[in-house]
């Protein structure tokens, strides 16, 4: 997706503007910078960042013009000449995000929502007290339940069923998707910088992307991405009361049972099955066809076809031997 429909970007941002906003001295170089992107999606005129050395390979392969990096990592990367060392990478990313997207923290309530007009949304069935924002697209033969709010610019595909008391914002949803009662899709993620005086909120300019044939259970919360997007793959089913944090990517054909929690930026492969009340820590990679037992705590990467259980999660055969 080349254009973010939810947050308007300022186009005339130069390298000197970025250096100024993060408190660094200006440079003789003053080229125009197109956008702030993650390491993978950044292009030659973008700026990016790295805050964890587990993304070193992505750093070396990134096309970004400039990359923010913590000063403590600089000695290990002297061969790269496009790095900008800073004291606090995430604080600098926050300041730059606000520079490019000045309205990114102002989306708590969409006051443009109104009752839908029948002429505009043919072949769609609405419950009572539904509110729809501007530029919303809803596919044919879809159903929207009572008291549901769909905020501006959201896209929903054909044959979708959206339950009662659902809130959808900052999202693009495919065909044949079911979102059950009470779910909140596309809210800002839990990102802030604590200090002695106040907690400064971290802007989120990513979106939620839900592929075809997905089911989202009751009272799920799916946060939009901070810089990249939060994604739910095709044919994946989420049970009730699941939390998916910002930037999480869940693959195809997964089955996630009740009360599972995903911390930010973890990547879940295809065909993964997770039992109830399991927790997945942040910035992890879970391989394809992995099975995670209920109540487990996953704190490290898991290769394809793993079967784990317990806290910390370990091979299920070892877990069963230790807990006979």
Confirm whether 246 is a catalytic residue.
Answer: yes
DSSP string, 45-103: T-EEEE--GGGHHHHHH---SEEEEEGGGGGGGTT-SSEEEES-HHHHHHHHHHHH-TT
Preceding omega of 236 cis (within 30 degrees of 0): no
Among candidate residues 146, 204, 243, 246, the one labeled active-site is: 246
Chain mean position to CA 84:
25
CA distance 256 to 298: 14
Which positions ≥6 away from 106 have C-beta within 8 Å? Answer: none
Q: What is the DSSP string of 163-174?
A: -TT-EE-SEEE-
DSSP state, residue 7: S
Structure tokens at 238: 């989420």
Please, are residues 307 and 289 in contact by the beta-carbon 8 Å criterion?
Answer: no
Query: Known catalytic residues?
Result: 246
């Amino acid at each position: 997706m080349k254009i973010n429909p939810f947050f308007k970007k300022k186009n005339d941002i130069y390298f000197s503007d970025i250096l100024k906003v993060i408190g660094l001295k200006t440079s003789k170089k003053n080229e125009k910078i197109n956008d702030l992107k993650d390491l993978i999606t950044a292009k030659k005129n973008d700026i990016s960042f790295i805050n964890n050395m587990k993304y070193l390979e992505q750093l070396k392969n990134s096309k970004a013009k400039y990359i923010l990096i913590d000063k403590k990592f600089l000695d290990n990367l002297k061969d790269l000449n496009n790095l900008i060392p800073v004291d606090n990478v995430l604080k600098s990313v926050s300041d730059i995000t606000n520079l490019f997207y000045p309205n990114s923290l102002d989306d708590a309530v969409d006051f443009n929502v109104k009752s839908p007009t029948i002429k505009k949304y043919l072949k769609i069935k609405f419950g009572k007290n539904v509110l729809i924002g501007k530029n919303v697209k809803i596919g044919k033969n879809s159903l929207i339940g009572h008291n549901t709010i769909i905020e501006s610019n959201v896209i929903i595909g054909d044959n979708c069923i959206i339950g009662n008391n659902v809130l959808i914002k900052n999202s693009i949803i495919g065909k044949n998707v079911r979102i059950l009662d009470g779910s909140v899709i596309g809210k800002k993620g839990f990102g802030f910088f604590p200090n002695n005086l106040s907690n400064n909120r971290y802007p989120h300019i990513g979106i939620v992307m839900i592929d075809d044939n997905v089911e989202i259970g009751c009272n799920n919360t799916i946060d939009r991405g901070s810089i990249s997007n939060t994604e739910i793959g095709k044919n994946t089913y989420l049970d009730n009361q699941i939390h998916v944090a910002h930037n999480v990517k869940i693959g195809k054909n997964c089955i996630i049972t009740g009360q599972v929690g995903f911390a930010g930026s973890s990547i879940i492969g295809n065909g993964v099955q997770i039992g109830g009340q399991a927790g997945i820590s942040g910035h992890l990679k879970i391989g394809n066809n992995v099975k995670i037992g209920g109540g487990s705590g996953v704190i490290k990467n898991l290769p394809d076809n793993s079967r784990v259980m317990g806290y910390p999660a370990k091979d299920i055969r070892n877990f069963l031997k230790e807990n006979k």
